[in-house]
A and B are shown apart, each in its own frame.
Chain A
Amino acid sequence: MSVTVALAGNPNCGKTTMFNDLTGNSQFVGNWPGVTVEKKEGRLRGHKDVTIMDLPGIYSLSPYSLEEVVSRNYLMNNRPDVILNLVDASNIERNLYLTTQLTEIGIPVVIALNMMDIVRKNGDVIDVKKLSHELGCQIIETSAIKNEGSMQAAEAAVKMAQSGKKTVPHHTFSECVEKALAQIKELAGNCIPQENSRWYCVKLFERDEKLCSQIKIPSDKAAQIERVITACETELDDDSESIITNERYEYIAKIVKSCVQKKRRTLSVSDKIDRIVTNRILALPIFVVVMFIVYYISITTIGDIATNFMNDTLFGGWISPAAESFFTGIGTADWLTGLIVNGIIGGVGSVLGFVPQMLILFVMLCALEDCGYMARIAFIMDRIFRRVGLSGESFIPMLIGSGCGVPGVMASRTIEQDRDRKMTIMTTTFIPCGAKMPIVALIAGAVFGGAWWVAPSAYFIGVAAIIVSGIILKKTKMFAGEPAPFVMELPAYHIPTVKNVLRGTWERGWSFIKKAGTVILLASIFVWFTSSFGFVDGTFGMVEDINTSVLAAIGSAVAVIFVPLGFGNWQSAVATVLGLVAKEEVVGTFGTLYAVAGDALGMVEEGDFGGLGNIAQHFTYLSAYSFLLFNLLCAPCFAAIGAIKREMNNAKWTWFAIGYQCVFAYAIALMVYQFGLLFSGAGFSAGTVAALLLFIVLIWLLVRKGYNENNIRLRASNVVRS
């Protein structure tokens, strides 16, 4: 008989470690349908017919967070055979809160009392037998990190499922609530499933919106139920949801008191570390040092070497030339060689080129997450970032994004709140990445004569774009809603395990290759095709000169869009499009299109702007700066778009992100160019009017009252004053 075990538990209770322990390499990682919540399942080691389903880490089964709703729906609709509830024994009170909810669902529950090694080390004693009796479920002591007991716990769960026994919750609510629950059960009658009527009654009592919309209760009965709830609320002077939560915790506190003996706590190692690390004075310097190390290793040194090796040496120096000579040697048609070497190998190379750097970064991020410092970063940075509607955790993606947007976007994975994560994904690539630097250098060196302010202004505008976007987006309907509470656990520090870090790194790297790979590959082939084919003398074929390519034709057609921005020529349009392949391509493309003698990109990198006059003469100060702005802010390269697609896990959101970036870039570049023209004395024109209108819209978007902001929350301070 095949058995499905759902692994449920709080975040930071060692669930990932246990899941890896139980399933080894037989894991399948995906997403829950339609949401960005990760879904993992695997086969229990040595048991082909046992599936372990890893639910997201949750604190409760409330209807308010995405993770909780996903878990609830899975438990209610898919009905796994048994729940293996992981409980952190060193933090038992809060962990058992979820247990009291899980036991009500009507699915057998087995508890794995994890982190027993820490409990023993602290000198605490837990009367497991008594606890098991009180909760009405079997308890297995485990220490997943030391590989103790995980297998026994899973096997006990399987046995439980096969025995067909039920878990009956032993806890009861107060008399008044129990009376109400009994009345609700009677009123609801056959409208709710009988095998887990307890769960439904409690949820009806809590007025759980998500659940109420799933079941149909005749309106007269519903009204009667409402009266029952209101009567109970009046009697206990609280709202029904709070009554239930309160009583659950009261019940837990009672049994914990009788089953757990805590030794008087001295300052633990974790406490001592935390004293220093988030100390009021030292926290920021330590934070800067940690971030510097992460950046230095993953972007500046090892990461950069790895990326350059992959792109220039492995693909550029070895594979491509070797493949080219091979295909030429066996007499393959030119176009096919071109497709394979420049289109496919080039495309695959641009996907794989980022992988080593990303893996190095992920090793460090996973280590930071695993040891508990990631939560402290959010704690330290929260104040700055929430001003613009982001969370403290958005700092890391933005910092990494200044090196490369691809790992930057991928780093947003660690952000807990769905809304914050989406907003971070959308805005991270506004920060100028390493590949945009040659564009900045070209404009600064060749057009502005090496003006010092151009490069810093690029960063300044990137940051400003994030702030402005944060404020604008926060006020839109899709990002509105009740303010997400920043109530975050700060888990105890512990040494990250090599196994967890490596596995986490591999999973993220692989999902990038799989999910982002297709986008990048297809886009690269498309661009290769349009830039190397065209009409010459009326016949369609491969062209030597990019001037006659399809891309040039497309460029001339779309160039008109850029006229209001000051660079409405086809060369700029083509360079911008090719910038999507990789941003530094913009410079190389200009070199080709404006017939620069030599390698334009190499000249820019060496700071030799003498030979780039050909490019400079096509720009004025204003149009050059406008061009720079547009290319900094518009859609990032295909690799980063692929990363956005991977993290959004939703086509609509991906397109929205890309669309927003392009529109935003266009609006800013247009305003800068048109206002620049006006102030330099070019007079009033239609463009000025458009810029003025855009400016007004922008200001309106910034200062308007946000969607749903009028719902004033009752502040306790008002109550105190009155």
Chain B
Amino acid sequence: MKTLKEIKCGETARVVKLEGTGAVKRRIMDMGITRGTDIFVRKVAPLGDPIEITVRGYELSLRKGDAESILVN
């Protein structure tokens, strides 16, 4: 199993589990990143962080630190 942080640009991964608790986790889930969702990693910001992903048909940006708490396969 990998975390979303390790997924390369242009690849798609499916969410297996979310780590963490409270506000951060809830916010990530509220935005539609839940178990079984497909996530397409679109690009990395010019300075290397954050990343831009496509989830549930829209674009979302996410820090690598937070992407680390999303387990995918």
Q: Which residue of B lies closest to A265 (CB)?
A: B57
Contact A283 B56 (CB under 8 A): no
Contact residues of B between 25 and 73, Cβ < 8 Å to A:
25-32, 34-37, 43-50, 52, 56-63, 66, 68-71
Contact residues of A between 310 and 353, Cβ < 8 Å to B:
none
Query: CB-CB < 8 A to B62: which residues of A?
Result: 486-487
Contact B29 A242 (CB under 8 A): yes
Given A94-B58, A715-B69, the answer on whether A382 and B27 have CB atoms closer than 8 Å is no
Contact A716 B19 (CB under 8 A): yes
- Cα-based distance from A486 to B23 in the complex (angstroms): 12
Contact A716 B34 (CB under 8 A): no
Contact residues of A between 468 and 501, Cβ < 8 Å to B:
482-492
- Cα-based distance from A71 to B68 in the complex (angstroms): 31
User: Is A677 positioned at the interface, with any CB of B under 8 Å from its CB?
Assistant: no
User: Is A620 positioned at the interface, with any CB of B under 8 Å from its CB?
Assistant: no
Contact A716 B71 (CB under 8 A): yes
Contact A715 B68 (CB under 8 A): yes
Contact B23 A488 (CB under 8 A): no
- Cα-based distance from A715 to B17 in the complex (angstroms): 12
Most buried by B among A246, A379, A489, A492: A379
User: Is B10 positioned at the interface, with any CB of A under 8 Å from its CB?
Assistant: no
User: Is A272 positioned at the interface, with any CB of B under 8 Å from its CB?
Assistant: no
Checking B48, B66, B71 against A485 with a beta-carbon cut-off of 8 angstroms, the contacting residue is B66
1/0 contact string of A256-291 vs chain B (CB within 8 Å): 000000100000000000100011110110000000
Given A242-B18, A715-B69, the answer on whether A489 and B44 have CB atoms closer than 8 Å is no
Checking A62, A246, A486 against B34 with a beta-carbon cut-off of 8 angstroms, the contacting residue is A246
Query: CB-CB < 8 A to B19: which residues of A?
Result: 714-716, 719
Checking B20, B26, B32, B71 against A720 with a beta-carbon cut-off of 8 angstroms, the contacting residue is B71
- Cα-based distance from A537 to B47 in the complex (angstroms): 68
For residue B31, give the distance in angstroms from its CB to the closest CB of chain A.
5
Contact A280 B26 (CB under 8 A): no
User: Is A241 positioned at the interface, with any CB of B under 8 Å from its CB?
Assistant: yes
Contact A486 B63 (CB under 8 A): yes
- Cα-based distance from A239 to B21 in the complex (angstroms): 9
Query: CB-CB < 8 A to A279: which residues of B?
Result: 46
Total interface residues on B, CB under 8 Å, equals: 46
- Cα-based distance from A386 to B45 in the complex (angstroms): 14
Contact A64 B27 (CB under 8 A): yes
- Cα-based distance from A239 to B18 in the complex (angstroms): 11
- Cα-based distance from A91 to B55 in the complex (angstroms): 10
Checking B21, B36, B56, B63 against A94 with a beta-carbon cut-off of 8 angstroms, the contacting residue is B56
User: Is A713 positioned at the interface, with any CB of B under 8 Å from its CB?
Assistant: yes
User: Is A512 positioned at the interface, with any CB of B under 8 Å from its CB?
Assistant: no
- Cα-based distance from A169 to B10 in the complex (angstroms): 38
Contact B59 A720 (CB under 8 A): no
User: Is A529 positioned at the interface, with any CB of B under 8 Å from its CB?
Assistant: no
Checking A60, A379, A484 against B61 with a beta-carbon cut-off of 8 angstroms, the contacting residue is A379
Given A487-B66, A490-B61, A719-B19, the answer on whether A380 and B24 have CB atoms closer than 8 Å is no
Query: CB-CB < 8 A to B34: which residues of A?
Result: 242, 245-246, 249-250
Query: CB-CB < 8 A to A715: which residues of B?
Result: 19, 68-69
For residue B60, give the distance in angstroms from its CB to the closest CB of chain A.
6
Contact A720 B2 (CB under 8 A): yes
- Cα-based distance from A717 to B30 in the complex (angstroms): 22
Contact A380 B45 (CB under 8 A): yes
- Cα-based distance from A93 to B38 in the complex (angstroms): 13
For residue B9, give the distance in angstroms from its CB to the closest CB of chain A.
9
Contact B23 A64 (CB under 8 A): yes
For residue A627, give the distance in angstroms from its CB to the closest CB of chain B.
38
- Cα-based distance from A383 to B29 in the complex (angstroms): 23
Query: CB-CB < 8 A to B70: which residues of A?
Result: 716
For residue B19, give the distance in angstroms from its CB to the closest CB of chain A.
4
For residue B6, give the distance in angstroms from its CB to the closest CB of chain A.
9
- Cα-based distance from A274 to B52 in the complex (angstroms): 11
Contact B52 A62 (CB under 8 A): no
Checking B32, B44, B45, B69 against A93 with a beta-carbon cut-off of 8 angstroms, the contacting residue is B32
- Cα-based distance from A320 to B43 in the complex (angstroms): 57
- Cα-based distance from A495 to B17 in the complex (angstroms): 38
For residue A286, give the distance in angstroms from its CB to the closest CB of chain B.
10
Given A249-B37, A280-B43, A716-B19, the answer on whether A241 and B26 have CB atoms closer than 8 Å is yes
Given A379-B45, A379-B50, the answer on whether A487 and B59 have CB atoms closer than 8 Å is no
For residue A238, give the distance in angstroms from its CB to the closest CB of chain B.
8
User: Is A384 positioned at the interface, with any CB of B under 8 Å from its CB?
Assistant: yes
Query: CB-CB < 8 A to B66: which residues of A?
Result: 485-487
Query: CB-CB < 8 A to A262: which residues of B?
Result: 57
- Cα-based distance from A283 to B22 in the complex (angstroms): 34
- Cα-based distance from A487 to B18 in the complex (angstroms): 14
For residue A244, give the distance in angstroms from its CB to the closest CB of chain B.
9
- Cα-based distance from A491 to B59 in the complex (angstroms): 7
Contact A485 B28 (CB under 8 A): yes
Contact B22 A64 (CB under 8 A): yes
For residue B39, give the distance in angstroms from its CB to the closest CB of chain A.
13
- Cα-based distance from A87 to B3 in the complex (angstroms): 32
Checking A239, A280, A492 against B44 with a beta-carbon cut-off of 8 angstroms, the contacting residue is A280
Query: CB-CB < 8 A to B32: which residues of A?
Result: 93-94, 97, 249
Contact B3 A720 (CB under 8 A): yes
Checking B1, B26, B47, B58 against A489 with a beta-carbon cut-off of 8 angstroms, the contacting residue is B58
Contact B60 A488 (CB under 8 A): yes
Contact residues of A between 92 and 111, Cβ < 8 Å to B:
92-94, 97
Query: CB-CB < 8 A to B68: which residues of A?
Result: 715-717
Query: CB-CB < 8 A to A716: which residues of B?
Result: 3, 17, 19-20, 68-71
Contact residues of A between 702 and 722, Cβ < 8 Å to B:
713-717, 719-720
Contact A242 B25 (CB under 8 A): yes
Which residues on A are within 8 Å of B, measured CB to CB?
59-60, 62, 64-65, 91-94, 97, 239, 241-242, 245-246, 249-250, 262, 274, 278-281, 283-284, 375, 378-384, 386, 482-492, 713-717, 719-720
> Which 9 pairs between the two chains have the least Cβ-Cβ distance?
A60-B30, A64-B23, A716-B19, A383-B47, A490-B59, A93-B56, A283-B46, A245-B29, A485-B24
| Other A-B pairs beyond A250-B34, A382-B45, A714-B20, 5, CB < 8 Å | A65-B27, A378-B61, A383-B50, A490-B61, A714-B69
Which residues on B are within 8 Å of A, measured CB to CB?
1-3, 5, 17-32, 34-37, 43-50, 52, 56-63, 66, 68-71
Can you sample 26 A-B contacts with CB below 8 Å?
A59-B30, A60-B26, A62-B30, A64-B26, A92-B57, A93-B32, A245-B30, A249-B32, A249-B34, A274-B59, A279-B46, A280-B44, A283-B45, A380-B46, A380-B47, A383-B50, A482-B22, A486-B62, A488-B60, A490-B52, A490-B61, A713-B69, A717-B5, A719-B71, A720-B1, A720-B71
